[in-house]
Amino acid sequence: MRIITYNVNGIRAALAKGLGAWLEAAHPDVLCLQEIKASAEDFPIDLFHSLGYQVHLFPAEKRGYSGTAILTQKSPTSVVRGMGNQEFDREGRVIQVHFGALVIMNVYFPSGSAGAHRQESKFRFLDAFLVFAQDAAHSHPHLVTCGDFNICHKAIDIHDPVGNKNSSGFLPEERAWMDKYFSSGFVDVFRMFYPDTPHQYTWWSYRANARKKNKGWRIDYITVTEVLASRARACRILSEAQHSDHCPVLMELDW
């Protein structure tokens, strides 16, 4: 099973940059999208149907903002939207598809870069999501959680750890949360395969030619429960895909 996570920073903008042709070539079994920035009425469902995908949407109530979607080649046994928290469910941040015992959770963490009020919202999300993820893993031991976490875990995951030590996305409190998340039974699949490989990023600012210079951040993750980790066969950052300020991450899972 090939699972890809991708923050597209607007589904229509990404399609205008060739996302459809890329998807046809990449052909994952499951594609988890974040920041779709489209309502159900605006999302190009027919296009993805023509490429062989079912579309499961969880858009934000606010038009042109946030939102998640999961595209699947096969029908899931169930789809679960939200995490029972109105503040964040209004923003369409968490959606799950179940394939029997296997559960794939797609999540878009808030960004705190817009100011103190958004950082406080992000901290509330972190508290709520940790409990939700732990409960989900307890109920569904074969759990994949992927998406844009909007946090770099360690210094190796960011191009300038010293200069960004006070930046949202690399704050000590956020990194401590990642420690807590991974110590509670979740595995960072990319680092499982590449524990010491530097300069591996999934997001670059549009400013100062950052992507060309590879001055980036690794904030997009695929994580699995410890019981599922032995089934992961590969994990790669697909930096050649350039339909967004992010790039996709791929995991191959023996399922």
Q: Where are the domains of the chain?
A: 2-253
> Rounded to an integer, what distance in angstroms lies between the CA atom of residue 72 and that of residue 9?
20
Q: What are phi and psi of 68, to 5 degrees?
A: -130, 160
> Rounded to an integer, what distance in angstroms lies between the CA atom of residue 48 and that of residue 203?
25
Amino acid at 100: G
What is the number of other CB atoms lying within 10 angstroms of the CB of residue 26?
A: 16
Distance of CA 109 to the CA centre of its chain: 8
- The per-residue pLDDT string of the chain (255 residues; one tens digit each, 9 = 90 and over) reads 999 999 999 999 999 999 999 999 999 999 999 999 999 999 999 999 999 999 999 999 999 999 999 999 999 999 999 999 999 999 999 999 999 999 999 999 999 988 999 999 999 999 999 999 999 999 999 999 999 999 999 999 999 999 999 999 999 999 999 999 999 999 999 999 999 999 999 999 999 999 999 999 999 999 999 999 999 999 999 999 999 999 999 999 999
> Rounded to an integer, what distance in angstroms lies between the CA atom of residue 135 and that of residue 116?
29
Which residues does the annotation mark as catalytic? 148
pLDDT at residue 85, as a whole number = 98
> Rounded to an integer, what distance in angstroms lies between the CA atom of residue 152 and that of residue 165?
11
pLDDT at residue 173, as a whole number = 98
pLDDT at residue 114, as a whole number = 87
CATH node for 2-253:
3.60.10.10
Which residues fall within 8 angstroms of residue 52, CB to CB, at 6 or more apart? 73
Please give the structure tokens belonging to residue 45: 């469902």
